[in-house]
Structure 1
Amino acid sequence: MRRLVQIFLPLLIVFFMAQLVIQIKDIEAASYKVGSKGDIVKKIEEKLKALGYFKGNPDNYFGQDTKDAVKRFQRAKGLKVDGIVGSNTLRALGINEGQQSSKPQRTDVNLLARAINGEARGEPYIGQVAVGAVIVNRTRDPRFPKTIAGVIYQPGAFTAVADGQINAKLEPTPQKAANDALNGWDPSGGAIYYYNPAKTTNKWIWSRPVIKRIGKHVFCR
């Protein structure tokens, strides 16, 4: 009997410690709920509003209206519907907490905003962010240049550069869309190409696997 205790007691201790760690992680992940405040809460509300789930004005307070919007989003995405924004919900919203404290270079924001303005002016906000995300995604793909400027000015890459629309007067939303794209929000679903079916005659781009459609643009791999 004593021998059995010596064998199984350490195993029981390890088991209970593992359960404790899991519970602690769950508590840490569920860090944004009714009563929470701060910039991340405002970012959560902004994303939910852009996606059509939040009807109020984004602020830095997580109220009942925010909880209801979160639950609608979670239900639509097949997540646990509890109105609490943990790591899975943050990820689904395209919010990376670690990236919030690291501000993108101002030159990248301005240039990306101009590209979005030239390419997606008049598109819904989420579509403007998606166009910005495609440019960001290309900087991480070995087939493309590694910088925002390199991607945007790659010969033949974007119509807005070729026709001068990149220098058009900035509309109100592209700068915010550029910040969102650089901070990790990717409504395109990881796309590295997009096109407007009503304007594109390139047969090659039509052959790319489609991820989703937002506004007038088709986003693809």
Structure 2
Amino acid sequence: MTLSLLLASPAFAYDVKPGDTMSSIARDHHLTLQELADANPQISNLNLIYIGQKINTPANSSRPIEPIKEKPMRSSLSDSEIDLLARLVRAEAQTEPLEGKIAVACVVLNRVESPQFPDSIKEVIYAPGQFQPVKNGQINKPADEESIKAVKAALTDQRQLAPGALFFYNPAIAASRWLDTRATTLVIGQHVFKK
């Protein structure tokens, strides 16, 4: 037992501050969200943390600590694709936190890379019946600054925020029995993200 304690990675406690999320804490401590979740089995809902709560932040010796860099994961988007995606993000997630906006952008990018969906931003967004803002015309309104920021963040290593998520919806205003059967990947704000 003594040997296992000596070999274990040291853990440090972090006090949750206003505006913190598990994703931001993981990022700030150079951990993946899964590594942070594994170090905190007492937290059953990663989207529900409280100011002042203690979060274990293990020292991560498996990789060197480097400054966080913006590494484009998909850099082939044109200015018009970034604008279109940012307009969708604004229309779908206008009242959501920045993290929720990034996750919405990630869903579209995940769809572009999935064999189940078309191969371009425009085709994914304008596919029949996929996004309400296309149907109600909200897609035609200009993107706001935060939505553009969210799209650019989704093109960096922040893309890992919603791995595998192909769908999202707000269960308070949309009921989908089909989506309810799919695995939930995360919940941010009012949106539930699904595989």
TM superposition score category, shorter chain reference: 0.5 to 0.7
Matched to 1:205, the amino acid is: L
Unaligned ranges ≥5, structure 1: 1-47, 55-65
Query: Which residue number corresponds to residue 123 of structure 1?
Result: 96
Query: Which residue number corresponds to residue 203 of structure 1?
Result: 177
Higher strand share: 2
Unaligned ranges ≥5, structure 2: 1-19, 40-56
What is the CA distance between 1:49 and its match in structure 2?
Answer: 8.7
Task: Name which of 150, 156, 165 aligns with 1:183.
Answer: 156
What is the CA distance between 1:170 and its match in structure 2?
Answer: 2.6
Task: Name which of 62, 73, 76 aligns with 2:36.
Answer: 76
What is the CA distance between 1:211 and its match in structure 2?
Answer: 1.2
CA deviation vs aligned residue, 1:68-91 (integer Å, no higher than 9, x gap): x4268787354851599748x89x
* Alignment RMSD: 3.5
1:186 is paired with a residue of what secondary structure? helix
In 2 relative to 1, CA 180–85 (structure 1 residues): closer, same or farther, beyond 3 Å? farther
What TM-score does the superposition give when structure 2 sets the normalisation length? 0.66
What TM-score does the superposition give when structure 1 sets the normalisation length? 0.59
2:161 is paired with a residue of what secondary structure? coil
Pairs within 5 Å for 1:6-21: none
Q: Is the 8 A contact 1:194 1:217 kept in 2?
A: yes
What is the CA distance between 1:197 and its match in structure 2?
Answer: 0.4
Work out the CA distance in 1 between the residues paired with 2:129 and 2:118: 13
What is the CA distance between 1:100 and its match in structure 2?
Answer: 6.8
Question: Which piece of structure 1 moves more, 181-190 or 158-167?
Answer: 181-190
In 2 relative to 1, CA 73–208 (structure 1 residues): closer, same or farther, beyond 3 Å? closer
Aligned length: 156
Work out the CA distance in 2 between the residues paired with 1:188 and 1:108: 20
Work out the CA distance in 2 between the residues paired with 1:183 and 1:71: 15
Matched to 1:81, the amino acid is: A
What is the CA distance between 1:162 and its match in structure 2?
Answer: 0.8
Task: Name which of 106, 123, 138 aligns with 1:165.
Answer: 138
CA deviation vs aligned residue, 1:154-199 (integer Å, no higher than 9, x gap): 0000011111111224322000111122335231232001110001
What is the CA distance between 1:148 and its match in structure 2?
Answer: 0.4
What is the CA distance between 1:111 and its match in structure 2?
Answer: 0.7
Identity percentage of aligned residues: 30
Q: Which has the higher contact order (CA 8 A, sep 6+)?
A: 2
